[in-house]
Amino acid sequence: MSDENNNSVVSARNISKSYTLYTRASQRLLHMILPKREYPKFEALKDVTFQVDRGETVGIIGQNGAGKSTLLQIVTGTVPPTTGTISVSGRAAALLELGAGFEPDFTGRENIRLNGTILGLNEAQLEERMNDIIAFSELSEFVDRPVRTYSSGMFMRLAFSVAAHVDADLLIIDEALAVGDARFTQKCMRFLKDFKRRGSILFVSHDMGAVTGLCDRVLWLDHGRIRAEGEPARVCEQYVASQFDGLIARPSENEIAPAKNKSRSNAQAPGQDEVVLYLPDTPPRESVLGLTSCSPFNPNANAFGSGGAAIVDAGIFDRNTGERLAQVREGQTVDLRISIEADDEVAAPIIGFYIKDRLGQHLLGENTFWEDVPQHSIAAGQSICTVFSFDWPAMKAGAYALTIAIADGSMADHIQRHWIHDAIIFEVLSSSSRHGLVGLNMHRVAIDYAPVQ
């Protein structure tokens, strides 16, 4: 951790927070009258020191009850520390408990004004940004309804949209993205990655993939203390390993002895017996044949580009029948077809795609540029269809999105003509990938039993 300097946005020194535990409500009143009387205490934080520099994203991980939310409440100023000092430079916008800071009987629009005012915007700034906030949230048809009628995902949309438009120096996020739908979560992750260029982020999550993908540094809180701090992948690996400490007990000698004395008739035949755990045509119950649902192409998805050529359609098609697919199976040979119309000549077109998970992490993709293959121009007024043929991968169950684009030039120097985020949303309903984000094309799993010695 760097020394405290003028570049720090958050500087916390020796922060501790304790709560007095009362068994009866009357004890609270009695303690006010007799403050010297001792009661049991719970120490939520113990001597925590850290800082967040400008432009830095710091993750906070730990088990439930480790003190993560308490620390964020101290940073935002909603809870004072028992001992220690905390300083925050600039404007902070927080997304803490779902719905925190919202008045249930107020409409969405009224809550935008309320939250914006709390975060430091004046009336003129709120009116100027109101339409942008509503547009970002995509809640225009609900914004004049009471927020008590909102779903958890709608709460998150509204809260994130306000926080995204208050010119904050620091964003504080506590598991807020866990309740959003796939497309809006992608939108939030794009905003956060752009925000990292100009501001700082404190990010609490149980999703280790999100932490390692977004953060520059990680603090691991354990029972109110910082147990480790440093590079995200290393700290997250230590944290995950700690979850299994002490869970595997060694058998005693008495437990081992009977196994040694088993009769030979109960053992596997030497060199002959193997147990086949998996074959593609007989998948185990835990690995049902993978199935992915594909949304229609969304021509109104978030996009950018200089123009001159436009992506007008995209879809997943059966390689053999040519049928557009609403569902696709693992291993099925498919065509990803991308249809483009050119208004101007595109001298050196590059058409490509990638599939990303709900956190915006790129899993796989391809494009039409190869160094040793000549590019062919698209004439003004011409329509083309680019086809990528491949076997559909095994992806872990969850939501994914397809990004597609056409550029003009080379990989090192090009102009983006049309780039579409989240053109198609995929929902992996079942998967043979039980570990990791993308599974292997597994042909066979078996155990060959060696002779018993």
Q: In this structure, what token pair is assigned to residue 71?
A: 């620390």
Q: Is the pLDDT of residue 247 over 50?
A: no
Q: Do 426 and 294 contact (CB within 8 A), yes or no?
A: yes
Q: What pLDDT was estimated at residue 299?
A: 92
CATH of the domain at 381: 2.70.50.60
Least confident residue range of 37-41, 199-203, 296-300, 336-340: 37-41
CATH of the domain at 173: 3.40.50.300
Phi, psi of 68 (to 5 degrees): -60, -55
Parent domain of 364: 291-438
Q: What pLDDT was estimated at residue 453?
A: 60
Q: Is the pLDDT of residue 191 over 80?
A: yes
Mean predicted confidence (pLDDT) in 16-36: 82
Helix (H) or strand (E) holding 295: none
Relative to beta strand 200-204, strand 57-61 is parallel
| 34 and 163 both lie in a single domain | yes
Q: Is the pLDDT of residue 5 over 60?
A: no
Q: How far apart are CA 158 and CA 147, in angstroms?
A: 9
Q: What pLDDT was estimated at residue 244?
A: 58
What average pLDDT is seen over the chain?
82
Q: In terms of Cα–Cα distance, which of 345, 341, 338 is closest to 408?
A: 345
Mean predicted confidence (pLDDT) in 121-127: 90
| Number of domains, the chain | 2
401 or 265, which is more confident:
401
Residue 60, in any domain of the structure: yes
Q: What pLDDT was estimated at residue 339?
A: 93
Q: What pLDDT was estimated at residue 258?
A: 41
Q: Is the pLDDT of residue 353 over 90?
A: yes
Q: Is the pLDDT of residue 284 over 70?
A: no
| 220 and 303 both lie in a single domain | no
Model confidence at 133, pLDDT cuts 50, 70, 90, reads very high
Residue 2, in any domain of the structure: no
Q: Is the pLDDT of residue 164 over 50?
A: yes
| 120 and 204 both lie in a single domain | yes
Bridge partners (DSSP) listed for residue 321: none
Q: Do 308 and 346 contact (CB within 8 A), yes or no?
A: yes
pTM assigned to the model: 0.65
Q: Do 201 and 192 contact (CB within 8 A), yes or no?
A: yes
Residue 103, in any domain of the structure: yes
Q: In terms of Cα–Cα distance, which of 339, 331, 400 is closest to 365?
A: 400
Helix (H) or strand (E) holding 340: strand 333-342
- Write out pLDDT tens, residues 206-223: 888 788 888 999 999 999
Q: What pLDDT was estimated at residue 264?
A: 36
- Write out pLDDT tens, residues 59-82: 999 998 899 989 998 998 889 999
| 433 and 351 both lie in a single domain | yes
Q: Is the pLDDT of residue 268 over 60?
A: no
Q: In terms of Cα–Cα distance, which of 57, 86, 90 is closest to 73?
A: 86
